[in-house]
Structure 1
Amino acid sequence: MALSWLVIFLSCFGQMSAQFFKNTQPSDIELEERLLRVLLRLNLEEEYNTVLVYGEECVFQSLLRHLGVPTILVASGSTNYDWSFSTSTLILTCKFDAENEENSKTLLNLQRNRRLVYLQENIPHESVCNKYALKEQHNIAMVKSNFVQSDIIYSCRYFQTPNYEEKRFFEHQPIYIENFLNMHGSAIRTVPDLLVPRTMVYRDKKTGETKIQGYLANLIVTYAQKLNASLEIVNITELGVQKASVLDITNWAKEDKLDIGTALSSSLQFKSSDVVWYPYLLTGYCLMVPVPAKLPYNLVYSMIVDPVVLSIIFVMLCVFSILITYTQNLSWRNLTLANVLLNDKSIRGLLGQSFPFPPNPSKHLKLIIFVLCFASVMITTMYEAYLQSYFTRPPSEPYIRSFRDIGNFTHRMAISRVEVNVLTSLNNSHFREIKKDQLLIYDDWSEYLGLRDSFNTSLIFPVSEDRWTTYEEQQKLFAEPAFYLATDLCFNRLMFFSPPMRRYLPHRHLFDAHMMQQHEFGMVGFWRRQSFLVMVQLGLGSMKDLSHKRDIAASLLLDDISWILKLYLGAMALSVCCFVLELSRCSERWSRFWRPRR
């Protein structure tokens, strides 16, 4: 009797087991097929070439052989190495808490990657999205175990309530949401560095709000407007600082106290790209040198007298003297040193003056005189042109050609302590060429900038080519330019500036794209050209002529021709001496003195 009951029980259990497998096994197969279609669709929306699976064995792992892409399984939920694979990686998670990545570089590299979470339990979607939001991972999609029946994919969204959205798989909508294209008024925290003209803070008279302008501030403002976000200026007094420097803003970005700094960190100041990213400006770091003073008018005469040209004129004088002396008598009898060097016709002819023409001259003498007159016209015209042009615009004193030449001039180079530390840490070869006694180092950054903005022509200043554009625009209002940019005196010819950002900023890629678009449409160049006018409008710039204009007299002064008068007096003294010697018949007495000896 007991045996019969055992047989009946086993037969019933077998029928129930068969019915159970009949109902569940096809359902699992159908789920796998549906999930495989989801993965293939994700590959069509955004191609991935690597699959990263977190968690223990689940339904995803049975699908991987059908994808045909490299797969990495992380059962423990964390890797112990830096992620160096392609960024086009799809992350699959078998449980919402299976991903426990601890490697900071891996977290940064995989921050924006798409994640597909398989929820086996009935877990609230809000809590799953909140968990990933705390890690600032926002491309999250979820499917449940009843995905075959519901056909619903849950995508996390932010800045809205609820923080997820239901999507039907067969409605052909994008599965993932680009959350930061509309931030719905959420704040972007920033701190301006107050360095004109890149950032200028002012208070709007109509609304009373604090606003910022400048070619860098405009970039941040337009970016917040593009994302429909608000711009929150962090109160730096709460951070223990009265005025923020670039180093302070960069450190606050490292500490996640702000999102994007309204400042520019140079490539000379940082070695890692964790807090800076796409370069906003490419520029050089050169010297801003005072324009050399003009030579005084009394030195103009010495400038136009070139030794080579004088030598050529002297040779022409000797040649014409020899030719004139020979052709007059067709003999070398009268050819003496005095007739060559002090030939009256040759000297007066080269100076463009009249001289007595011999009677009945030969054809050869006429030709020589014609060439002499032509040479005199060329010489006098050349010197007169040089003299008039130099009096109109006198030449300048020598320019500084190298860093070592700074020690040979009276100018010293003013530089801030921050720049000295940076150049010293980089062991800049050009900076080492400048002697220490030629440096005037300022510990106060504001004092140094104020001195540079005052156009103090007794000093040399280092400046970026980007900042020089504003100085150049301002000097267009000067009667004479006070400084020029020495492009051959550069500490660094290719230096890039980038706004500091916090490390895990989730919309960093949108900010980089925004910067590139502003450059592409020419907005950055336009903002830079208008910087000086904006400074004047806000009262931060002046249209006064800060150059030291040279006073030009209405006519020449006696001091301007002092060298000519000195030469004239010397020549007159020499002429008087020769005349006295002739009156005293010195030559006859000298010849008598030598006759007895012969």
Structure 2
Amino acid sequence: MVGLAVLLLCLGGTRSQFLDVTVQREKDFTEALSELLIQLHQGENYDTLLIYGEDCVFHSVSRSLAVPTVLVSSGSTDFDWGFNSQTLLLSCGPGEEREVNYRTLIKLQRNRRLIYLPKDTAPSSVCESYSQKEQYNVAMVREDFETTQKIYACRSFTQPNIQEIYLMENESIFIENFRNFHGKPIMAMADLVAPRSMVYLDKKTRERKLTGFVANLMNNFAQKINATLRFETLSFNVTFRDIVRKVKNDELDIGIFLEATVLTNGLDTASYPFLLTNYCLMLPVPAKMPFNRVYGIIVDRLVLVIMLVLFCLLSLLLIYSPKGSWRKLDLANIFLNDITLRGLLGQSFPFPPNASKHLKIIFCILCFASIMITTMYDAYLQSFFTNPPTDHEIRTFKDIGKYHQKIAIPEIEMTSLIITNNSQFGEINKEDLFVIDGWREYLTLRDTLNISYGYIVTEDRWSVFAEQQKLFKKPIFYFAKDLCFSRQLFMSIPLRKYLPYRHLFEDHMMRQQEFGMVKYWKSHSFFDMVRLGITPLKDLSPPTVLDASLLLQDISWILKIYLAAMVISIFCFLFEVLAARIGNHNLTT
């Protein structure tokens, strides 16, 4: 019995020592893990903790840190959490993070992850599992971390995909994996709509390459991150919506074309707005006004009223001034005053002998007024004969039907405007639209600058047309800024939803804008199109037919007015003769 008691005492002591060692090891592991998290926090790697899984060592460690902590024991959140970008994710095991909320997944995709790794789990398999979910900033620790001080960090684009880091070596645990692709491809598709993206064959490498202000952005980005841009192009019988569909189905990384943000559902599959533009009509320059209508437009109504008032005032002064009386005041002497009429028309008129000073001043005023009037209208007439003003200009959407202007539009654009309930488009009558089934056919028609139609165009595309028309004898189209379907239209580049290097691309995009590279590419778009044979370097304006001299129809209105004045004068003369005879007859009787 004594021996049995001694044996039990020895076993109890051994067990207590074993428990003490286990507790001490757990304490050492907790302290080592706390030091690791404090070191990460000092490096500004996080300001919030998000712990996935049930009770584990991370829960006890988080209590000793003065950092806001969110516990997700079920492995997934039911809400769209607004996590800070500096959140550190802690997982009690490789399979504890089972997030299903896609908005939360997007927000947490870039965040750093620290995982507690069981003994029987290989770190490389965990990296492979997380890379399939496109979560790359992953590090792992084992239960022997307090003695080994070893951290396993996942590394993309390297073989093997795991790196062992020792805490005392001051080596970065979390890095930006996508700053160097090591030649890995970026899957893209271009719509080949000039001047945004244009394809050409490199003479040296005999490879197809892209240029254009959107394509150049992608080329520079691929070069910056040491990636290969592997692109497809749209075939003739499909539309740019096929790019959007492939991006949404994760078949493409990036679409090399621009999409209006009003047609996207948020920015899940679109980048930060790349371009701000206006979406307006490009209309043919109206024809010049015929010469026979020039005579009518040079006489402004207000100026004509002022001239009639001046005529009446000068007539009244000429009636009163010679004898200082109103005896000869009547309507005929006011409105048909011979001296005033001839004086204002710049013709000679009789000057009375021994005229008073007041009368001389009136004649000076009359002569000065005649010089001003005749000089002004002669200048107007010669200017308008040299370069007549336009016949009519479309200023509102209702004027499109009023002046019978046809607007060419692709069916896909018309559908988009109807879906977005565009109020400006609703003002255009369907009879004034020329709907084209294929958008490629529409672009071909628009690029020919057919003046039979007006076209819908963005302001960045119009800048190329404006540059092209500088080669013409006269411009044939103008950008109607008053006739816009959308002002300040944001255009974005399609990106797939879980693109892990989205932040790098958007940062590159904004830097290119800031440095003026996009503006430079856009300014050279026309010359790039000429160099690639997309736009001809020739004058597409219709030839100008110059008449050798004025025709009879050009002065038809003047002849009609002259004939009407002669008829009125004859009737007035006959009326005066008849009145004089009647008066003489009454005197004799």
TM-score for both structures, normalised by structure 2: 0.95
Aligned-partner Cα distance in 1 for 2:44–2:457:
45
Please give the residue correspondences for 1:80-91 in structure 2 after superposition, counting only pairs within 5 Å.
80-91=78-89
CA shift, 1:82, in A, is 3.1
Aligned-partner Cα distance in 1 for 2:6–2:275:
85
Q: Which residue of 2 aligns with 1:259?
A: 253
Aligned-partner Cα distance in 1 for 2:118–2:412:
57
Aligned-partner Cα distance in 2 for 1:51–1:334:
106
Aligned-partner Cα distance in 1 for 2:434–2:230:
38
Aligned-partner Cα distance in 2 for 1:202–1:78:
49
Aligned-partner Cα distance in 2 for 1:76–1:207:
55
1:352-404 Cα offsets, whole Å, 9 max, x none, are 12222111111111111111111111111211221222223211223222222
Of residues 341, 344, 347, the one that matches 2:335 is 341
1:48-85 Cα offsets, whole Å, 9 max, x none, are 33322122322111111112233222333233333333
CA shift, 1:596, in A, is 9.0
Of residues 443, 454, 476, the one that matches 1:449 is 443
Change in 2 beyond 3 A, CA 1:483/1:44? farther
2:32 is the counterpart of 1:34: yes
- Does the CA contact (< 8 Å) of 2:422 and 2:485 recur in 1? yes
Match of 2:164, SS state, is strand
Q: Which residue of 1 aligns with 2:518?
A: 524
Please give the residue correspondences for 1:237-316 in structure 2 after superposition, counting only pairs within 5 Å.
243-316=237-310
Please give the residue correspondences for 1:311-460 in structure 2 after superposition, counting only pairs within 5 Å.
311-460=305-454
Aligned-partner Cα distance in 2 for 1:195–1:285:
16
CA shift, 1:580, in A, is 6.6
CA shift, 1:595, in A, is 5.8
- Does the CA contact (< 8 Å) of 1:50 and 1:69 recur in 2? yes
2:551 is the counterpart of 1:553: no
CA shift, 1:47, in A, is 4.5
Match of 1:117, SS state, is strand
Match of 1:493, SS state, is strand
- Does the CA contact (< 8 Å) of 2:89 and 2:111 recur in 1? yes
**More deviation, 561-570/319-328:** 561-570
Aligned-partner Cα distance in 1 for 2:105–2:301:
74
Of residues 433, 445, 455, the one that matches 1:461 is 455
> Which letter does structure 1 place at the counterpart of 2:25?
S
- Does the CA contact (< 8 Å) of 2:254 and 2:493 recur in 1? yes
Change in 2 beyond 3 A, CA 1:443/1:595? farther
For structure 2, which runs of at least 5 residues remain unmatched after alignment? none
- Does the CA contact (< 8 Å) of 1:276 and 1:498 recur in 2? yes
- Does the CA contact (< 8 Å) of 2:83 and 2:108 recur in 1? no
Match of 2:213, SS state, is coil
Q: Which residue of 1 aligns with 2:131?
A: 133
Identical columns (%)? 50
- Does the CA contact (< 8 Å) of 1:154 and 1:167 recur in 2? yes
CA shift, 1:31, in A, is 1.6
CA shift, 1:576, in A, is 5.4
Aligned-partner Cα distance in 2 for 1:200–1:521:
23
Aligned-partner Cα distance in 1 for 2:526–2:373:
49
**More deviation, 307-316/32-41:** 307-316
Match of 1:283, SS state, is strand
- Between Structure 1 and Structure 2, how many residues are aligned? 589
Q: Which residue of 1 aligns with 2:211?
A: 213
Match of 1:485, SS state, is strand
- Does the CA contact (< 8 Å) of 2:404 and 2:432 recur in 1? no
- Does the CA contact (< 8 Å) of 2:408 and 2:436 recur in 1? yes
Match of 2:51, SS state, is strand
For structure 1, which runs of at least 5 residues remain unmatched after alignment? none
2:97 is the counterpart of 1:99: yes
Aligned-partner Cα distance in 2 for 1:577–1:182:
98
Aligned-partner Cα distance in 1 for 2:27–2:230:
52
> Which letter does structure 2 place at the counterpart of 1:431?
F
Aligned-partner Cα distance in 2 for 1:61–1:71:
9
Match of 1:191, SS state, is strand
The CA RMSD measured in Å over matched residues stands at: 2.1
- Does the CA contact (< 8 Å) of 1:153 and 1:166 recur in 2? yes
Aligned-partner Cα distance in 1 for 2:423–2:389:
32
Change in 2 beyond 3 A, CA 1:335/1:83? closer
Please give the residue correspondences for 1:17-96 in structure 2 after superposition, counting only pairs within 5 Å.
17-96=15-94
CA shift, 1:593, in A, is 5.6
Q: Which residue of 2 aligns with 1:176?
A: 174
Q: Which residue of 1 aligns with 2:111?
A: 113
1:280-337 Cα offsets, whole Å, 9 max, x none, are 1111211212222221222111111123322322222222222223322333333343
Change in 2 beyond 3 A, CA 1:170/1:555? farther
Aligned-partner Cα distance in 2 for 1:413–1:440:
6
Aligned-partner Cα distance in 2 for 1:543–1:516:
33
- Does the CA contact (< 8 Å) of 1:268 and 1:422 recur in 2? no
Of residues 567, 574, 579, the one that matches 1:587 is 579
Change in 2 beyond 3 A, CA 1:443/1:24? same
Aligned-partner Cα distance in 1 for 2:242–2:523:
28
Of residues 135, 156, 159, the one that matches 1:158 is 156
Match of 2:404, SS state, is coil
- Does the CA contact (< 8 Å) of 2:93 and 2:118 recur in 1? yes
- Does the CA contact (< 8 Å) of 1:234 and 1:258 recur in 2? no
**More deviation, 126-135/299-308:** 299-308
Match of 2:195, SS state, is coil
TM-score for both structures, normalised by structure 1: 0.93
CA shift, 1:24, in A, is 3.1
Aligned-partner Cα distance in 1 for 2:42–2:530:
54
- Does the CA contact (< 8 Å) of 2:190 and 2:233 recur in 1? no
CA shift, 1:550, in A, is 3.5
> Which letter does structure 1 place at the counterpart of 2:313?
V
CA shift, 1:180, in A, is 0.5
Match of 2:58, SS state, is coil
**More deviation, 98-107/274-283:** 98-107
> Which letter does structure 2 place at the counterpart of 1:95?
G
- Does the CA contact (< 8 Å) of 2:236 and 2:440 recur in 1? no
Match of 1:358, SS state, is coil
Aligned-partner Cα distance in 1 for 2:373–2:53:
95
Of residues 189, 192, 202, the one that matches 1:191 is 189
Aligned-partner Cα distance in 1 for 2:60–2:7:
35
> Which letter does structure 2 place at the counterpart of 1:374?
F
1:464-487 Cα offsets, whole Å, 9 max, x none, are 122212112112222222222222
Aligned-partner Cα distance in 2 for 1:254–1:595:
107
2:485 is the counterpart of 1:487: no
> Which letter does structure 1 place at the counterpart of 2:479?
L
> Which letter does structure 2 place at the counterpart of 1:132?
Y
CA shift, 1:19, in A, is 3.0
Change in 2 beyond 3 A, CA 1:535/1:594? farther
Aligned-partner Cα distance in 1 for 2:265–2:585:
91
